[in-house]
Structure 1
Amino acid sequence: MESEKYKHIQLGKGDVGRYVLLPGDPFRTDLIARYFDEPQLVAHNREHKTWIGKLDGVPVAVTSTGMGGPSAAIAVEELIRCGADTFIRVGTAGPVRCPEDCDRYDGVIVTGSVRDEGTTVQYVPIEYPAIANRHVVEALVQAAARKGLHYAEGISQSKDSFYGELDPACSPEQARLLQRWEAWQKSGVMCSEMECAALFVVAALRGCRAGAIMNWGDMDKTIQTACDAIRLLIAAADQANG
């Protein structure tokens, strides 16, 4: 398999470097690639579109995961097999704790996720936490601070049903959905999205690093912050290697 292209992302071993940004939307990869030096579109199959390039002379990539945990897990599994080991999810989310979060913060740097989805239970029991890597979180925090941006740090809810959140009345599970939403609010969950739990769990189980930065719709600030965080991680790796 090492000499072949992996089925879903259509990339092979060595096609990407260790650092990969992960938006959900394939079209968003084009926006992110604009911040790379020497950007090159190398694959687009199904929901997975990949550009490669460089930041500070080091190979980086951006691959779209599509929507939800199953496709995100597939993308991460195959990217790891291609050589990646450090991931930053770049996406949008809805506020949970209070609607005013959209005005108070530029978004959320996710430190961990509620596993309110079905993908990760296929990997490991539900008691296993979905936690972001502390070095990736710190790089995102530093990158945002250097730009004077105000991202909250906190927990996301990773779910499977978009309309279960947006329109719970359409579901026969309305009462349970509303009750659980209230529980997330009372427990300080910052935002709701669909991929972080899968990313964090798969990365941790494979010995890799992952983090996420979410926004309410303004992608440019978030993309720039994620790219700057990659630069900080590159610099830290260079320093560690002497």
Structure 2
Amino acid sequence: MNEKVYGSSIDLDSGIGAKYAILPGDPERVAVIAGYLENPKPLSVHREYTSYEGYLDGEKILVISTGMGGPSATIAVEELAMIGVDTVIRLGTCGGMQPEVRSGELILPTAAIRQEGTTKEYVYGEFPAAANFDVVRALDEAAEKVGVKVHKGIVQSKDSYYGQHMPDRMPAERDLKEHYDAWIRAGALASEMECAAVFIVSQVRRLRAGAVLHVIWNKERERAGLSSKTTRDLDLAIQTVTEGIRILIKKRKRSESTNEIQF
């Protein structure tokens, strides 16, 4: 008997039989991403969670939106873990923070700055929000095959979109600006809103997690008088994620065939 998680927000049950999930934030991107899979099929629309299933190399893959920000992203990852998913990859967008990061390129986060509130209710602030090494390595290999420029490193995960883009409107203006400037000086590559939540919950629940972030723009390049544009085409990011999952599937199958222990 297939059972749904009690009070399930993602509206999926334990019989789904998928180990891998792609996590865009925007529900409207789910069908587009699923179109890169074999035999895509819609599953559910419930709250901010729109889901599809499809296949890569015979393995069922879920695509499910997480909504915007940490609280809804953690609910998605929690409930995916409950129904048997063990590998999640966030596929989203970001804004560049370093001059070498150009629109249209990809970020593969190795870790995320926890400038949000959700993960503080999971584990103390000293604990890092880090991506899984095997997932990052697979995505890096995939990006090379796809032929897209990538940057690997730290990203900022925040709660307030307008706190970054319009800090002067906020009573906490000074703190927001000081932190943002500090992240840039420390080498943070980009700013987004969900990686820290996805990474922390995945670690706590013993899932593997990674992310591919498409750089839409880089306001810091504009401020420095450098060329900058807005690029919204996610094709290369989606190709990188799907190819990365193929690599992970092949590695898992090799491990199982040789009776190696596979996390």
Contact 1:16 1:52 in 2 (8 A): no
* Matched position secondary structure for 2:9: coil
Instruction: Kindly provide the amino acid, as one letter, of the partner of residue 19 in structure 1.
Output: Y
Where has structure 1 moved over 4 Å in runs of 4 or more? none
- Tell me the C-alpha RMSD between the 2 structures: 1.4
Instruction: Kindly provide the amino acid, as one letter, of the partner of residue 115 in structure 2.
Output: D
**Counterpart position of 1:220:** 235
The answer as to 2:187 corresponding to 1:188 is yes
Counterparts of 1:36 and 1:83 in 2: how far apart (Å)? 20
Instruction: Kindly provide the amino acid, as one letter, of the partner of residue 68 in structure 2.
Output: M
Contact 1:16 1:61 in 2 (8 A): no
**Counterpart position of 1:108:** 107
The alpha carbon displacement at 1:199 in A equals 0.4
TM-score by length of 1: 0.96
Q: Which runs of 5+ in 1 are unaligned?
A: none
Counterparts of 1:15 and 1:182 in 2: how far apart (Å)? 44
TM-score by length of 2: 0.89
Counterparts of 1:148 and 1:4 in 2: how far apart (Å)? 40
Instruction: Kindly provide the amino acid, as one letter, of the partner of residue 3 in structure 1.
Output: E
Counterparts of 2:51 and 2:17 in 1: how far apart (Å)? 9
Counterparts of 2:169 and 2:256 in 1: how far apart (Å)? 55
The alpha carbon displacement at 1:107 in A equals 1.8
The answer as to 2:203 corresponding to 1:204 is yes
Instruction: Kindly provide the amino acid, as one letter, of the partner of residue 41 in structure 1.
Output: P
Counterparts of 2:49 and 2:17 in 1: how far apart (Å)? 14
Instruction: Kindly provide the amino acid, as one letter, of the partner of residue 10 in structure 2.
Output: I
Counterparts of 1:219 and 1:102 in 2: how far apart (Å)? 14
The alpha carbon displacement at 1:16 in A equals 4.4
The alpha carbon displacement at 1:148 in A equals 1.6
The answer as to 2:253 corresponding to 1:238 is yes
Counterparts of 1:78 and 1:14 in 2: how far apart (Å)? 13
* Matched position secondary structure for 2:60: strand
* Matched position secondary structure for 1:218: coil
* Matched position secondary structure for 1:169: helix
Q: 1:229 aligns with which of 244, 254, 258?
A: 244
**Counterpart position of 1:18:** 19
Contact 2:14 2:82 in 1 (8 A): yes
**Counterpart position of 2:224:** none
Larger Rg over CA atoms: 2
* Matched position secondary structure for 1:102: coil
Q: Which runs of 5+ in 2 are unaligned?
A: 216-231, 258-263
Which residues of 2 match residues 109-188 of structure 1 at below 5 A?
A: 109-188=108-187
The alpha carbon displacement at 1:176 in A equals 1.0
Contact 1:87 1:210 in 2 (8 A): yes
Contact 2:2 2:15 in 1 (8 A): no
* Matched position secondary structure for 2:67: coil
Instruction: Kindly provide the amino acid, as one letter, of the partner of residue 85 in structure 2.
Output: A
**Counterpart position of 1:27:** 28
211 and 237 in structure 1: CA distance in 2 versus 1, 3 angstrom threshold:
same
* Matched position secondary structure for 1:92: strand
The alpha carbon displacement at 1:198 in A equals 0.5
